[in-house]
């Protein structure tokens, strides 16, 4: 609860800082509306008693007072609503970038790869508005509570028995709370199923993935599975909503019982001369108004609890980002040049939530200034190894050293500023071609000369020259954009990776998977030449991950991975001739396939 209170206090402070007048208006209007609603019923009693006793001035004053109070109350409700929306907007403007920052500044990739983490990220991201509005729902609930208290004070002055309406009014609030928790638990329980059905829906409704589905004739099957998941989650959620409705109904039954009892008491008192007609009319007016007041209190409380899933996900993300930055102990600078190289010392890594090591006790020395190729079958751990190298993950066991210094001790941002990488699942940046390339080295985002050089290094000059506005062409399927083929997007990604001219590590993870054979050959020749240039300049290591053995024969060191283990390491000449070697076997199979 303390966490919630401090979050709401912080959000109210943001609102006060960004819109002090609006905040004062909401708080002041809330207090005024409490006074106005109490004044209205007191004035009503004066109208009735003045009329019954023939005191015209009292009756008239009461009538004017009642009209003013009712009118003011209605106007204040409108003001409170409009100002609250404005204030929630102001808070939202600050909250969204904060959530985005947490998501993007976490060093690793776990929170973007694990489905249970992704669900929470989505809840926090989609629920910022709910979080922003939640403190105002609390203000509203407090206002309704004050209104309820004032009302009951007045009722107590008529008859202390009427105070029993207070617990009777509190029961529906509590029961509503229970009901909402049941609904929230149902949503949490079905979050994974919800994600699955959404994934299936997108799978069948997006141009990229629907091609495979259509050719396979699997549309009906996908639709059937999506419907089955949807039905499954609907059943659970409906059951939760039904249970919540029972809780709510029970609460209202208790309140209705108290309401009937209270009115019976007042009527009985008045009939026996222990009260005025004004008391009875006031009690009836209050009791019917009380229902609305309780409803408001319930609505605000329920609205706040409705934001619980989003707020809990927000707390989770905040704690996750804080834990991540606390364990980020790397403060050392990356070396200006590599002299000895990079060492993997008994490095093991297991993806969270899996029971198999993706990398198992890998030990290898990669000398500075070399070109290293990593080969192996699907799922053998090649990408994991390069991801560890760019600090997306940390080894569970062992360590990676850079010129003898533990990579964990090097500041991640500084290390990444000396790293270039083109991954097999490269990003498609729907910007101008110049920005899509230039972003590879942010300080040179607008440096046309450097961008042109990077484009040339990636053998993408012909592609860029063929675009309607050259480097100024907007890429992508959006309005005014030019969409590219898979291979063309990959060339842009390669050019982006070539922007940095002094990296210590240059990673090419399946860099030519989407390219045709001549392009592949041309690119490899260029990158080999580039690797030699970088090696001379900074001692940079170029790491190439590839399935195609023919492309890596020129590497200085070839690492062969098998089920996460490094089974062989050496040059092509050494490995090819190794008797019963893994590399020799795989190379032989590929060579025979190409020459057949």
Ligand X SMILES: Nc1ncnc2c1ncn2[C@@H]1O[C@H](COP(=O)(O)OP(=O)(O)OP(=O)(O)O)[C@@H](O)[C@H]1O
Looking at the Cβ atoms of 417 and 490, the one nearer to ligand X is 490
Write down the least CB distance from residue 101 to ligand X, Å.
Answer: 23
At 47, list the tokens.
Answer: 């109208």
Answer for the pair 309, 187: CB distance below 8 angstroms, yes or no: yes
Looking at the Cβ atoms of 374 and 499, the one nearer to ligand X is 374
Write down the least CB distance from residue 411 to ligand X, Å.
Answer: 25
**Of 251, 97, 98, nearest in space to 180 by CA:** 251
Looking at the Cβ atoms of 128 and 380, the one nearer to ligand X is 380
Distance CA 101, CA 122 (A): 14
How many degrees, rounded to 5, is the angle at CA 540 between CA 537 and CA 543?
A: 145
Write down the least CB distance from residue 544 to ligand X, Å.
Answer: 13
Write down the least CB distance from residue 196 to ligand X, Å.
Answer: 17
Write the burial class of residue 212 (CB in 10 Å: 0-12 exposed, 13-18 middle, 19+ buried): exposed
At 144, list the tokens.
Answer: 């309704």
Looking at the Cβ atoms of 72 and 559, the one nearer to ligand X is 559
Write down the least CB distance from residue 381 to ligand X, Å.
Answer: 4
Write down the least CB distance from residue 509 to ligand X, Å.
Answer: 8
Looking at the Cβ atoms of 425 and 449, the one nearer to ligand X is 425
Looking at the Cβ atoms of 331 and 354, the one nearer to ligand X is 354
Write down the least CB distance from residue 433 to ligand X, Å.
Answer: 27
Residues forming a β-bridge with 399? 345
CA 10 to chain centre: 20
- Given the structure tokens 């063929």, which residue do they identify? 466
Gap between the terminal Cα atoms of the chain: 71
Looking at the Cβ atoms of 181 and 350, the one nearer to ligand X is 350
Contacts of 460 (CB under 8 A, 6+ apart): 491, 492, 494, 495
Write down the least CB distance from residue 569 to ligand X, Å.
Answer: 16
Looking at the Cβ atoms of 382 and 572, the one nearer to ligand X is 382
Looking at the Cβ atoms of 137 and 384, the one nearer to ligand X is 384
Write down the least CB distance from residue 388 to ligand X, Å.
Answer: 10
Site residues for ligand X per CB under 6 A: 113, 351, 354, 358, 376, 378-384
Write down the least CB distance from residue 382 to ligand X, Å.
Answer: 4
Contacts of 575 (CB under 8 A, 6+ apart): 558, 560, 568, 581, 583, 584, 587
At 366, list the tokens.
Answer: 């990669």
3-state secondary structure string, 51-99? HHCCCHHHHHHHHHHHHHHHHHHHHHHHHHHHHHHHHHHHHHHHHHHHH
Looking at the Cβ atoms of 246 and 351, the one nearer to ligand X is 351
Contacts of 216 (CB under 8 A, 6+ apart): none
Distance CA 113, CA 387 (A): 13
Looking at the Cβ atoms of 217 and 378, the one nearer to ligand X is 378
At 67, list the tokens.
Answer: 């009209």
- Tell me if residue 227 falls in helix, strand or coil: helix
Contacts of 158 (CB under 8 A, 6+ apart): 266, 269, 275, 279, 282, 283
Write down the least CB distance from residue 566 to ligand X, Å.
Answer: 12
């Amino acid at each position: 609860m303390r966490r919630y209170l401090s979050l709401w206090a912080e959000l109210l402070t943001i609102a006060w800082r960004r819109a002090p007048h609006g905040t004062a208006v909401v708080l002041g209007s809330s207090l005024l509306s409490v006074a106005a609603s109490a004044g209205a019923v007191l004035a009503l009693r004066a109208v009735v008693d003045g009329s019954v006793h023939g005191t015209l001035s009292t009756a008239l004053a009461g009538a004017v007072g009642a009209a003013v109070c009712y009118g003011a109350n209605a106007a204040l409700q409108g003001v409170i609503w409009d100002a609250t929306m404005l204030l929630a907007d102001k808070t939202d403007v600050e909250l969204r970038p904060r959530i985005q920052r947490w998501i993007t500044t976490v060093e690793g990739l776990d929170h973007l790869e694990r489905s249970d983490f992704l669900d929470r990220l989505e809840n926090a991201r989609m629920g910022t508005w709910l979080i922003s509005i939640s403190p105002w729902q609390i203000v509203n609930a407090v206002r309704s509570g004050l209104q309820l208290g004032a009302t009951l004070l007045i009722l107590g002055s008529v008859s202390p028995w009427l105070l029993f309406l207070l617990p009777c009014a509190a029961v529906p609030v509590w029961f509503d709370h229970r009901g909402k928790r049941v609904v929230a638990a149902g949503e949490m329980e079905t979050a994974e199923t919800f994600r699955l059905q959404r994934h299936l829906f997108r799978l069948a409704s997006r141009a990229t993935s629907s091609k495979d589905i259509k050719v396979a004739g699997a549309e009906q099957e996908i639709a059937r599975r999506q419907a089955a998941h949807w039905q499954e989650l609907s059943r659970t959620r409906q059951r939760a909503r039904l249970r919540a409705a029972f809780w709510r109904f029970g609460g209202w039954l208790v309140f209705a019982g108290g309401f009937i009892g209270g009115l019976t008491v007042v009527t009985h008192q008045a009939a026996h001369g222990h009260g005025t007609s004004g008391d009875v009319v006031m009690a009836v007016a209050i009791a019917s108004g009380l229902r609305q007041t309780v409803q408001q209190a319930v609505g605000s409380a329920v609205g706040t609890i409705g934001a619980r899933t989003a707020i809990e996900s927000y707390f989770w993300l905040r704690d996750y980002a804080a834990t991540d930055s606390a364990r980020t102990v790397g403060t050392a600078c990356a070396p200006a040049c590599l002299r000895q190289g990079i060492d993997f010392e008994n490095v093991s890594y297991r993806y969270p939530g899996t029971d198999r090591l993706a990398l198992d006790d890998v030990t290898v020395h990669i000398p500075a200034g070399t070109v290293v190729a990593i080969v192996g079958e699907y799922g053998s751990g090649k990408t994991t190894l390069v991801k560890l190298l760019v600090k997306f993950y940390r080894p569970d066991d062992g360590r990676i050293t850079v010129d003898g210094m533990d990579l964990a001790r090097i500041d991640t941002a500084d290390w990444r500023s000396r790293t270039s990488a083109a991954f097999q699942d490269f990003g498609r940046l729907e910007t101008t071609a110049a920005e899509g390339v230039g972003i590879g080295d942010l300080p040179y985002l607008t440096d046309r000369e450097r961008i042109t050089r990077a484009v040339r290094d990636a053998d993408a000059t012909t592609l860029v020259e063929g675009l309607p506005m050259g480097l100024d062409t907007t890429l992508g399927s959006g309005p005014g954009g030019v969409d590219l083929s898979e291979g063309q997007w990959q060339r842009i990604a390669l050019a982006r990776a070539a922007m940095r001219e002094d990296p210590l590590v240059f990673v090419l993870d399946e860099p030519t998977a989407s390219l045709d054979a001549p392009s592949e050959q041309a690119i490899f020749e260029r990158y080999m030449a580039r690797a030699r240039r970088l090696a001379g300049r900074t001692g940079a290591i170029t790491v190439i991950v590839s399935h195609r053995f023919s492309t890596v024969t020129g590497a200085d060191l070839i690492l062969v991975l098998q089920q996460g283990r490094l089974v062989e390491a050496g040059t092509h000449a050494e490995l090819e001739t190794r008797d019963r070697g893994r590399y020799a076997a795989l190379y032989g199979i590929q060579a025979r396939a190409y020459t057949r």
